[in-house]
Structure 1
């Protein structure tokens, strides 16, 4: 387990806190400064280690947990792209947006993620895949503790 996870509760979590209003104490800070729910962060650490062994670098993140104010700002700027505030999986701390090649369909990084992420509890949802209703190759969700 990476040292950054040592202060996080990494067991499966359910929250009674509204979407986008999760207290900092209930989130884990990843090395790049983004936050995730503890169980999602632990799964992310395992996925990141496997990704690094393949690509010799950590996966590149552009977003993680979004508080409600961030969701509202993003929705105002990108209403056709961002989820309605209060409904985003980013607001539950179980979604990430990626870069470094993963954000483009067909790259080695995207294909590797598509073939391997589910073993670690992560997926690029059907709606976000090529041919989906809103293609977003960069958007990945932690599903292990949510099904």
Structure 2
């Protein structure tokens, strides 16, 4: 977080109109730099900015608005991307790209979050605040998004099986390299969940 912007000593020592103009110029540049940095820091994938997709909120999309895939449900465009991804995976490894979980309802998100975190009333180290309490992740458990914020709740995330869930396997390496061709990105790698992929629609070809 930016708390201050250094000002060159030569400018701060000046007085009069010239010094004032200099200080204003530096302040303006600092403000622009701050805006640019904040904008860059808040940049998010297309799906992360999704709000009320199809008129529904996160985790409250009816299955009638989604498409069934192996052991789960996905948004229609994500399901199409998965179908092509799975076909290519099957051609390579002679087995389907299995899905452990796709869409996750709000009720399921809540159950997972509360099972993986312990609540308490006073803040501790690395807490998550939700529902008027502070939550600490239980040892040995995976991360769980705050209910109502999971990408699974937009039907745009999948936890894969078929050996893709294991870092270092041939299947995982292939999936990481080829998934983006179909809109599926190995986002979970950044926090120790090799099985977790998220969908971002591919650019429309003109």
**Would you say same fold, with TM above 0.5?**
yes
More helix by share: 2
Is contact 2:74–2:156 with CA below 8 Å preserved after alignment? yes
Which TM-score applies when normalising by structure 2? 0.59
Structure 1: any 5+ residue segments left out of the alignment? 1-13
Instruction: With a CA cutoff of 8 Å and minimum separation of 6, indicate the structure with the bigger relative contact order.
Output: 1
* Structure 1 residue 59 corresponds to structure 2 residue 97: yes
User: What is the number of residues matched between the two proteins?
Assistant: 127
Question: SS state of the match for residue 141, structure 1?
Answer: strand
**1:20 and 2:77 aligned:** no
- CA drift at 1:27: 0.4
- Pair 1:119-2:191 in alignment: no
Structure 2: segments with no counterpart, 5+ residues? 1-52, 118-136, 138-142
Residues 116-145 of structure 1 deviation map (CA, whole Å, 9 limit, x = unaligned): 0000000011xx21xx3x211000001126
Instruction: Classify 1:143/1:41 alpha carbon distance in 2 versus 1 (closer, same or farther; 3 Å).
Output: same
1:15 shift after superposition: 2.8
Is the 1:39–1:145 Cα contact (8 Å) retained in structure 2? no
**TM-score (normalised: structure 1):** 0.81
Q: Offset of 1:98 from its aligned partner?
A: 1.2
- Structure 2 residue matching 1:29: 3-state secondary structure: strand
- Which residue does 1:49 correspond to in 2? 87
Q: Which residue of 1 aligns with 2:161?
A: 99
Moved over 4 A (4+): none
Q: Distance in 2 between matches of 1:61 and 1:42?
A: 14
Contact map agreement 2:96 2:162 (CA 8 A) in 1 = no
Higher CA-based Rg = 2
d(CA) in 2 for partners of 1:82 and 1:118? 24
Aligned mates of 1:47, 1:100 — CA distance in 2: 13
Equivalent position SS for 1:35: strand
User: Cα RMSD over matched residues?
Assistant: 1.5
